[in-house]
Structure 1
Amino acid sequence: MIPALLLAFGASAGSLAQAQSCGSGGGATVCLSASGSANDNQLNWTVSGNVSRLEVYRDTDADPAGRTRIAVPATSARSYADASANTGTSYWYWVKFTTSAGSYNSGSASAIRGSSCAPTAVTPYISANGSWTQTSSATVTAGNSAILGPQPTTGGSWGWSGCGTSGSAREQTITPAASCTATATYTNSCGAKTTQAFAITVPSAQTQVFPNPGINLGNTLEAFWPGAAAPTKALIDSIRDRGFKTLRIPVAWDFHSTNGTIDPAFMAQVKQTVDWALAAGLYVIINDHYDLGWFERNGFNSYDPAINAKLINMWTQVANTFKWYDSDKLAFAVANEPDAPTQAKTDVLYQYQQNWINAMRANGGGNAVRWLIVQGPNTNIDNTINFGKNLPTDPANKRMVEVHLYDPFDFTLMDTDESWGTWTAFWGYNYKVSNQWTNRNVKAGSDESLIDIQLAKMKYFTDRGIPVLIGEYRAGVKPASLGLTGSYKDQNYRSTTHWNKYVQNKIASLGFSGTGWVIQQDLFNNTTGEVLDWNMLGSMLGTSEIGPISGL
C-alpha cells in the first residue's frame, strides 16, 4: 500500500495549482479540485469506476504524512465544504477512495479560505433633466431619456437588468416607454455583491389638457393700436353659452409697462377678464403675444442676459398676480410666434424658455404645478419637428408644446399675389371650381390630406406624453378687393366653413387642444356678446359647415 500511496502522491505533487488533481487505482479514478471563499473551502471531485468508501483528508502542507481525516462522505457525494478551515491558511486536500482492490488517493488540491468580504454600499444617482440627483427613483416622460449612474465609480464591476439596461458600463442611458425598474449589481474586488434598484415612473399620457372647442380673444388685450374694445363679462358669457370650453387670451404685457413694471390698471383689466372666464367655467390660457416683437422678434442669434432678465421680470409679475389661481384651469404661455427658423436659433429660444419654466416653478403656489406652454420655433409644425423636438424640461411634468396651423397659407390668410405664390379661394375636394376662377383652387395635395399630414406630425409629442396645443387656426374669407362676386364669393365663404370645421374636428380626434383665431367684431360683438356670424360660429365649434355650390 505505501508504494502505491507514494506513487499517487508523487504523481500529483507537481499539479497543486491545476483545476483538478487525479489519482487512480483498483479500476477507479478520483479527480479533486478545491477553492476558497470567505465562508469555507469548497471541494469538488469526480469519480469514475466503482468505489465502496470515500474519505476526505487535510493538511497544512503538500506532504501527506501527518494529514488528518476530516470527513467520511457518502460514496455518492461529489463535494464537501470545509467550514473549519482557518482564514488565510493554505490547506492541501485529498480524497481517499476504496475499491475491491484496496485504498487509493486522488491527487492533492489546495485552497485558502479568504477573509470575510463585506458588500460595498452603493449610492444611487439619476440624471433626468440634465443634472445629477442622489435618488433611486425618477419620473420620465415617455420618449425622454434619463441616465442611471450609481457609485462607487471604481474598484469593482457592474451588471444591469431592466428598463433597457445592459452590459457592464456604470452609467446607463435609458429611454423608457412605460414605468419600469432597473437593477444594478455591483461586485467589489473581493467578490461581494450589492444590488440597487431604480424605480422609473412614466406617467400615463395626458394629451388633451384643455377641452375643445377653444377660441381666442384676439385683437383685444394684445392690441397696441387705438380703438380696440375692452372685453366685457357679456362677451365672455356669450363665448361660454355658444359652446366654447377654452379661452386663449393674447396679452401685450410689455406694451403696457414702464421701466419694467406692468401698469397696475392693465394688470387689473387682465385679471378681471380671467376672473370672468373662470367664473363662466372656461379654461384659460394667457400669453405674451406679439407685444411689438420685443421678445419673439429679437433674432435669437445668441443668448442675451438682458432679454432673459426682462422676460423673467415680466412673467414674475404675472405669476405673482395669479399665484393661487387653479393650476389646471389657468395656464401660462411664454410667447406667441417666436421667430427661430433654424436649429441654432431654436436652441437659444429654448434656453429662454427653460429659464422661464424654472422661474415659474420657483415662484411657488399654484405656479409650481401650473400648466406651462412653450412654443415651437415660429409655432410652425415643420420647424418644430425639424428643430424643436428636444423641448425644455419641466420638473413638474406639466408643460405643453404649442404650434399654429394656417395651412395652406395661400388659402387661409393670403390676399395678394406674390413672386413666391398666389392666393387661392377654394379649398376642399368638393369645393373646387372649374370656370374662370380655376386658378384660385388650391393646388393638388393642399386639401384635406394636407391637414391630416401636418397635424399627424405633432403626434410625435403626444405619443411621448407631451400635450399639444394648436393655439391658432382659421381660414379667413377673401376680401371684396380680390374681385370674387356672386356664387364664387359664396363658394369661398362656404369653403372656409369647411376648413374650420375640418381642422377643429381633426384636432379633437388626435387628442390635441385647440383654440381657433377670432378677432373683434368677427364672430361676436365684443361689447354685447351678440353673435355676428352663426354659420362661421358653427364651423369654429366644429359642429356645422355649409356645403359646396355645385356646377361652378
Structure 2
Amino acid sequence: MKQLIFFISLLFASSFLVTACDDSDNNVDTERAEDITLEVQPVSLNFAAEGGEQTISVSSNSNWTISFSSDSWVKPDISASKGNVDVKIVAEASDVEEERTVVLTISAGKDDNRKDIEVTVTQAARIPFDEPENGNENGDEPAEYIEPDASGMRDITAVEFSQLMTVGWNLGNSLEAINVVDGVYSGGETSWGNPVVTQQLIDSVAEAGFNTIRIPVSWSHKIVDETNYKISDSWLQRVGEVVNYALDNDMFVIINIHWDGGWMNHPFYDNQDEINNKLKALWKQIAIYFRDYDDRLLFAGSNEVHVEGNYGDPSTENVEVQNSFNQTFVNTVRATGGRNVYRYLVVQAYNTNISYAVNYMVMPSDEATNRLLAEVHFYDPYDFTLQTDGNYKTQWGEPFSGGDVSSWGQEDWVDEAFGMMKTNFVDEGYGVILGEYGAVLRSGLTGDELTQHIEARKYYLEYVTSAAIENYIVPIYWDNGYAGNNGFALFDRQSGEVVDPVALEAILSGAGISN
C-alpha cells in the first residue's frame, strides 16, 4: 500500500536592514523555502528477459515526477506524486537478443532548488529459443514449403476434433496489447496493464478445468521491416513460449491476428489487395514458425473484422472483401506444407456476429478435407454483458424476469442463435468456436442489487456455456485480466489464484465439469 507523508514547509521570514560601508542602497532578502529533500532506493534495477515488476521507494518533502519515454519498454505505475511513495516499475518481456538499459529520472523542486536522482534499469538479453526444425539443409531460413507431414495430426473431422476441446479460456489483453499513435505502432505484453504471462498462470487455468486456451496476438508492433512485414524473431519466440506453456498442460491452443491496430478493419475493394498482401506476409511467417507443432495448435486468421466504428449491417462489398481475407489465410497456411497441410484452421464471420455468419459467411475453399472451423462471438444482450454507462441491465434470464432484465436476448435467443450455427455449420461439417463470450461483473453495485446481479450473471454464464455445448459449439470465455468493477477476470494474472469462483463454477457447471 502506498503511504504518503506530507511535510509542512515552514517558512522563516525576517526582514532586516543591511547598511553597507559605502552607503549603498539597502538590500532585502526574499523569503527562502526549506531546501528540497529527495531520496530514492534502490537506484538500480535488474530484470530478467521475461520482464516483470519491481519497486522503488521515493521520499521527498516536495512534489516529484518521474521522467520516462511513453514508448519505453519499462514504465512506472505513477509518474508524479508527493512525499513518500512506493512506485512499481514494470518491464515488458524483452524482444531483443542483447542486454538493454534505460534511465528513469526522479526530480523534485525547480530551478536552483531542484534535485534529480537517476534510476538505472537493466534487462537481460532474451535467449533465443530453438528454431523450428524445418529449415533448408544449409541451416538458413526455413523453407517456404516442405513436404506434407501428417504425423501428430489426427485423422478426424473438424466437428469431431472440436468436441475434444470442451471448454476454453481467453488470455485477453496480454499478447495482443498494442498502441497506435499517428500510425506508429508500439506497446508490448504488459502495456495494457496485465503482467508478463507465466507458466504458473497457465498451469492454474488448466488445473481449474479448462482444456482449451485462446491466445489473442498482435504482430504489427513487432514488425522490423515494413517493406516485407518481417516479424521480429524474438516476438515469434515469445508467442511460442506462451503456446508451449499451454501445450505443456496438454491443452488445445488457438493463436490469431487480433485487431492489431485495426489495419484489417477497412473491408473495401480499394483496400482489399493491400490488406491481403499484409495478411499473407504475416501468416506465411507465423505458419512456418509453428509448422512443426502438432494438431493441438490451431490458427485463427483474424478477429472481429468490420468497418471501423460501424457495427451495423455490412454491405455486400464489406462481406465479400472480408470473406477474401479468410481465403487468403487458408491458402497461405496450406502453402507452407508440413503439418500445416492438415492443421485445423479457424475462420471468422463478419464481426464474429452469428446472424452475419448465417446470412453472409462463405467458408473458404480448402485443399484439406474437413479441417475448417467457423468462429463467432456472443455478448448478447449488450446492455447486460458489456454496457457500463447509461441504462445498462444488472439481471438476465427467466428466474429474474420480474427484475432488471433486457427486453430481448434471453434464453430463447441463445437457443435460436446457437441452433442456427449448428444447422448452418456443424451439420454441414464445420466445427464451430464461440471464441469469446461473457458478462462483466458489476461489483460496484451494493446490497441486494449486487446479490441479484451475481446470481443472474452466474445463471447467464452457465446457460450460455451449456447451450453452446449442446449445439456442438466450443465455448471460450473472455478474460481480460481485470478483476475490478466491470471486469471479466477469473484468475489473478500475477499469482494464478481464482478471483471469481462464482463465475468459474458457473462455466464449468455449464460444461458438465465438476471441480
Normalised by the length of structure 1, the TM-score is: 0.57
Change (3 A) 1:275 1:392: same
Change (3 A) 1:542 1:300: farther
Q: C-alpha separation between the residues in 1 aligned to 2:159 and 2:255?
A: 24
> Secondary structure in 2 aligned to 1:430?
helix
Contact 1:206–1:465 (Cα < 8 Å) also in 2: no
Q: C-alpha separation between the residues in 2 aligned to 1:487 and 1:406?
A: 25
Matched residue type, 1:236: I
Contact 1:235–1:526 (Cα < 8 Å) also in 2: yes
1:226-245 alignment, distance < 5 Å: 226=191, 227-245=193-211
Task: Using the TM superposition, give the Cα deviation of residue 431 of structure 1 relative to its aligned residue in structure 2, in angstroms.
Answer: 2.2
Matched residue type, 1:452: D
Matched residue type, 1:292: G
Counterpart position of 1:549: none
Counterpart position of 2:442: 478
Counterpart position of 1:529: 496
Counterpart position of 2:431: 467
> Secondary structure in 1 aligned to 2:476?
strand
Matched residue type, 1:223: A
Structure 1 stretch displaced more, 461-470 or 535-544: 535-544
Counterpart position of 1:300: 268
1:129-168 alignment, distance < 5 Å: none
Matched residue type, 2:358: I
Q: C-alpha separation between the residues in 1 aligned to 2:214 and 2:380?
A: 20
Task: Using the TM superposition, give the Cα deviation of residue 207 of structure 1 relative to its aligned residue in structure 2, in angstroms.
Answer: 6.6
Task: Using the TM superposition, give the Cα deviation of residue 428 of structure 1 relative to its aligned residue in structure 2, in angstroms.
Answer: 1.0
Matched residue type, 1:393: S
Q: C-alpha separation between the residues in 1 aligned to 2:511 and 2:470?
A: 16
> Secondary structure in 2 aligned to 1:537?
helix
Task: Using the TM superposition, give the Cα deviation of residue 303 of structure 1 relative to its aligned residue in structure 2, in angstroms.
Answer: 5.1
Count of residues in Structure 1 that have an aligned counterpart in Structure 2: 328
Counterpart position of 1:505: 466
Q: Which of 493, 508, 514 is residue 454 of structure 2 equivalent to?
A: 493
> Which protein has the larger Cα radius of gyration, Structure 1 or Structure 2?
1
1:318-329 alignment, distance < 5 Å: 318-326=286-294, 328-329=295-296
Contact 1:415–1:479 (Cα < 8 Å) also in 2: no
Matched residue type, 2:345: L
Q: C-alpha separation between the residues in 1 aligned to 2:316 and 2:272?
A: 17
Counterpart position of 1:451: 414
Counterpart position of 1:206: 160
Task: Using the TM superposition, give the Cα deviation of residue 228 of structure 1 relative to its aligned residue in structure 2, in angstroms.
Answer: 2.7
Counterpart position of 2:394: 425
Counterpart position of 2:302: 335
Counterpart position of 1:392: 364
> Secondary structure in 2 aligned to 1:463?
helix
Q: C-alpha separation between the residues in 2 aligned to 1:396 and 1:380?
A: 26
Task: Using the TM superposition, give the Cα deviation of residue 413 of structure 1 relative to its aligned residue in structure 2, in angstroms.
Answer: 0.6
Contact 2:267–2:321 (Cα < 8 Å) also in 1: no
Change (3 A) 1:203 1:485: closer
Task: Using the TM superposition, give the Cα deviation of residue 315 of structure 1 relative to its aligned residue in structure 2, in angstroms.
Answer: 1.0
1:490-521, CA deviations, whole angstroms, 9 ceiling, x for partnerless residues? 21122111111111111111111121101214
Task: Using the TM superposition, give the Cα deviation of residue 216 of structure 1 relative to its aligned residue in structure 2, in angstroms.
Answer: 0.5
1:379 corresponds to 2:347: no
1:407 corresponds to 2:371: no
Q: C-alpha separation between the residues in 2 aligned to 1:209 and 1:221?
A: 27
Change (3 A) 1:210 1:405: farther
Change (3 A) 1:255 1:509: same
1:200-256, CA deviations, whole angstroms, 9 ceiling, x for partnerless residues? xx9795373551111101111111252331110001111111100100000011122
> Secondary structure in 2 aligned to 1:414?
coil
Task: Using the TM superposition, give the Cα deviation of residue 414 of structure 1 relative to its aligned residue in structure 2, in angstroms.
Answer: 0.9
1:441 corresponds to 2:405: yes
Paired-residue identity, % = 34
Report runs of 4+ in structure 1 exceeding 6 Å deviation. none
Matched residue type, 1:318: I
1:273 corresponds to 2:242: yes
1:469-488, CA deviations, whole angstroms, 9 ceiling, x for partnerless residues? 110000112363xxx42111
Structure with more relative contact order (C-alpha pairs < 8 Å, separation 6 or more) = 2
Q: C-alpha separation between the residues in 1 aligned to 2:359 and 2:174?
A: 33
Structure 1 unaligned spans of 5+: 1-201, 546-552
1:282-293 alignment, distance < 5 Å: 282-293=251-262
Q: Which of 321, 326, 341 is residue 348 of structure 1 equivalent to?
A: 321
Matched residue type, 1:257: I
Q: C-alpha separation between the residues in 1 aligned to 2:218 and 2:293?
A: 20
Counterpart position of 1:257: 223
Contact 1:428–1:499 (Cα < 8 Å) also in 2: yes
1:277-317, CA deviations, whole angstroms, 9 ceiling, x for partnerless residues? 1111100000111111011x123344532221111111111
Q: C-alpha separation between the residues in 1 aligned to 2:511 and 2:271?
A: 47
Task: Using the TM superposition, give the Cα deviation of residue 336 of structure 1 relative to its aligned residue in structure 2, in angstroms.
Answer: 0.8
Q: C-alpha separation between the residues in 2 aligned to 1:203 and 1:268?
A: 30
Q: C-alpha separation between the residues in 2 aligned to 1:544 and 1:348?
A: 36
Matched residue type, 1:513: V
> Secondary structure in 1 aligned to 2:400?
coil
Counterpart position of 1:367: 340
Contact 2:167–2:511 (Cα < 8 Å) also in 1: no
Counterpart position of 2:172: 218
Matched residue type, 2:430: I
1:39-54 alignment, distance < 5 Å: none
Change (3 A) 1:414 1:364: same
Aligned-residue RMSD, C-alpha: 2.1
Contact 2:302–2:347 (Cα < 8 Å) also in 1: yes
1:514 corresponds to 2:475: yes
Counterpart position of 2:277: 309
Counterpart position of 2:508: 541
Matched residue type, 1:305: D
Q: C-alpha separation between the residues in 1 aligned to 2:206 and 2:336?
A: 31
Structure 2 unaligned spans of 5+: 1-155, 179-186, 308-313, 483-488
Task: Using the TM superposition, give the Cα deviation of residue 453 of structure 1 relative to its aligned residue in structure 2, in angstroms.
Answer: 1.0
Matched residue type, 2:238: Q
Matched residue type, 2:281: N
Task: Using the TM superposition, give the Cα deviation of residue 544 of structure 1 relative to its aligned residue in structure 2, in angstroms.
Answer: 9.3
Counterpart position of 1:357: 330
Change (3 A) 1:321 1:205: closer
Normalised by the length of structure 2, the TM-score is: 0.61
Task: Using the TM superposition, give the Cα deviation of residue 489 of structure 1 relative to its aligned residue in structure 2, in angstroms.
Answer: 1.6
1:16-31 alignment, distance < 5 Å: none
Task: Using the TM superposition, give the Cα deviation of residue 324 of structure 1 relative to its aligned residue in structure 2, in angstroms.
Answer: 0.7
